[in-house]
Amino acid sequence: CSRWEEEKKGDGVKWVQLEHRGPYFVPLYEPLPEDVQFYYDGKPFKLSLATEEIATFYAKMLDHEYTTKEVFQNNFFHDWRKEMTSEEQEIIKDLDKCDFREIHKYFVDKNEARKALPKEEKQKLKEEADKIQEEYGYCILDGHREKIGNFKTEPPGLFRGRGEHPKMGMLKKRIMPEDVIINCSRDSKIPEPPEGHRWKEVRFDNTVTWLASWTENIQNTLKYIMLNPSSKLKGEKDWQKYEVARRLKDVVHTIRAQYRRDWKSKEIKKRQRAVALYFIDKLALRAGNEKEEGETADTVGCCSLRVEHIQLHPQLDGQEHVVEFDFLGKDSIRYYNKVSVEKQVFKNLQLFMKNKDPSNDLFDQLSTNFLNKHLQHLMDGLTAKVFRTYNASITLQEQLKALTNPEDNVAGKLLSYNRANRAVAILCNHQRSVPKTFARSMQVLQEKIDAKKKQVEEAQEELKKAEDECKDKKDAKAEDNVEKKKKLLKRLEEQLAKLNIQATDKEENKQIALGTSKLNYLDPRISVAWCKKFGIPIEKIYNKTQREKFAWAIDMAGEDFEF
């Protein structure tokens, strides 16, 4: 039996034995050298140590887009002033008069120097990092030595957040042992806190899988140290997630028939639930949980949509019953989409929006809780998220079937794979901003293509010459020469085709993030089976870390696996 299929434990128990070293705390602040100065209003100004450390966080980010944003600047300055001494507060009252350029340069130079270190020095640094990884990066779980995911605490710095997060620029404080709760087994060697410190608490809770936790100060959320995705525990959980999604496949037709009936229900609450479920199923929207007021960014999911987030068009671009969505979803990523929906859905939306203000809830009688209870009733373990996993995986499988041409070479097949993955990323709205380096790397690729075209043209001329010579001479040597030139031309044409495919792939991919769906929403067995079926090396699809995470799937799936 493989390690994925060892004996199961009883109710809610995740482990019997858990032993580890606790988190690795990032090194303390090293003061700036005397000759690196901060200037206020054009004059050098010596900052106290705590104030200087926070100044370095901002200085390091000077060349980043964040520091040009007003929200970021205001949040930073507000939090920085709170940490200043009263003398500093008296003087430093205007961010525009602060000059961090010398500090910024110091860190840029330091970085360059590190990159330029001789090989032996780099090797020494790597060995030191490996030593820390060996000591802190593993735990013993039920007799297995398992890798820990993130064993270091996050360093202090300025909060960035994703999208246009309202808290960007706020001060992320240093995590101290006094903030940390340790979780391990009672009989294990309990981790020692760093000298002169103590843990907030030590727990022996075998119903959870985290090793340590603390509350971060910006969003007041809990952070955990967890096992690495490649560990048996995480692998099992991952596998179960996709098995639940596969079970949905058998009942999804019944569920769809039911919510269609509910569009005409006498109860408005049921109608709202049915329309929301249609969106979650058809558009892979997130459910959207209730949130504390003013706690976080104003982001919504399906159940928390407001009237202002949708517009109804009886006719638009040659389609009927079009709903235009425009809202900020998870991580403040904008969701914008125009979708033709069924007539009954359209009529219901008109009804839900009647006599409401733009800021009113669209589904005012619906809570995520009510929706998930209903889903649980339809199928054991079913939540809104399972629809996202199911629709993503089924889309990948169908697209791979439709797009893969068995006659294509490896590069052609990989383009088809990435196109199938892109269809999923678009469904799940996984966007990214165009990478900063995009234009430059596209230019480099274009230069390679132009050079290769030239080589192909030269090879064509060479071949023509060789064929003409062969006609004149008609000897074996001349014929060999023609064959040689033909082979060369064929090889160059293949290389050119490959480069052209790369350029197409790159262009189509510039605003789409493939990684999120690949890691979280797509059953890896679909990709493993596809690789095995078409003789594609698995490392062309998954990098080393991903292959470790999906070891269970690589183990299990044959080429005829069907999701």
Catalytic pick among 138, 278, 521, 542: 521
Residues 197 and 301 in one domain: no
Residues 209 and 112 in one domain: no
Residues 419 and 542 in one domain: yes
Please tell me the predicted confidence (pLDDT) of residue 80.
96
Contact in structure between 541 and 417 (CB atoms under 8 Å): yes
Q: What percent of the chain has pLDDT over 70?
A: 96
Higher-pLDDT residue of 6, 474: 474
| Domain count across the chain | 4
Residues 221-249 as b/e (b if ≥16 CB within 10 A, e otherwise) read eebebbbbbbbbbbbbebbebbebbbbbe
Q: Residue 1 — pLDDT band, cuts 50, 70, 90?
A: very low
Is residue 136 among the annotated active site residues?
no
- Is 340 contained in some domain? yes
- Structure-token match 């080429």, residue found: 559
- Is 32 contained in some domain? no
Q: DSSP letters of 387-422?
A: HHHHHHHHHHHHHHHHH--TTS-HHHHHHHHHHHHH
Q: Is the model's pTM score more than 0.75?
A: no
Q: What is the CATH number of the domain that holds 446?
A: 1.10.132.10
DSSP state of 304: T
Question: Encoding tokens for residue 473?
Answer: 């001479």
Summarised one tens digit per residue, pLDDT across range 486-532 is: 898 899 999 998 888 888 888 887 877 777 788 889 999 999 999 99
Residues 113 and 131 in one domain: no
Q: How far apart are CA 109 and CA 58, in angstroms?
A: 16
Summarised one tens digit per residue, pLDDT across range 178-202 is: 999 999 999 899 999 999 999 999 9
- Is 11 contained in some domain? no
Please tell me the predicted confidence (pLDDT) of residue 6.
54
Q: What is the mean pLDDT of residues 42-51?
A: 93
Residues 329 and 409 in one domain: no
Q: Where are the alpha helices (DSSP H) in 61-118?
A: 70-83, 86-91, 101-115
Residues 264 and 304 in one domain: yes
Residue 164 has pLDDT above 90, yes or no: no
Contact in structure between 150 and 225 (CB atoms under 8 Å): yes
Please tell me the predicted confidence (pLDDT) of residue 557.
82
Average pLDDT, rounded, for the chain:
88
Nearest partner of 545 among 530, 531, 524, 529, judged by Cα: 524
Choose one of 188, 204, 230: the last residue of a domain: 230
Summarised one tens digit per residue, pLDDT across range 294-334 is: 456 678 889 889 999 999 999 888 899 999 999 888 877 88
Residues 80 and 182 in one domain: no
Residues 401 and 545 in one domain: yes
Summarised one tens digit per residue, pLDDT across range 211-241 is: 999 999 988 888 999 988 777 778 888 898 9
Contact in structure between 340 and 356 (CB atoms under 8 Å): no
- Is 169 contained in some domain? yes
Q: What is the CATH number of the domain that holds 338?
A: 3.90.15.10
Give the range of the structural domain holding residue 254, as residue numbers without chain letter. Answer: 234-383
Q: How far apart are CA 103 and CA 106, in angstroms?
A: 5
Contact in structure between 265 and 258 (CB atoms under 8 Å): no
Choose one of 351, 383, 415: the last residue of a domain: 383
Residues 240 and 280 in one domain: yes
Residues 43 and 92 in one domain: yes
Q: Residue 290 — pLDDT band, cuts 50, 70, 90?
A: low
Summarised one tens digit per residue, pLDDT across range 99-116 is: 999 999 999 999 999 989
Q: DSSP letters of 252-289?
A: HHHHHHHHHHHTT-SSHHHHHHHHHHHHHHHH------
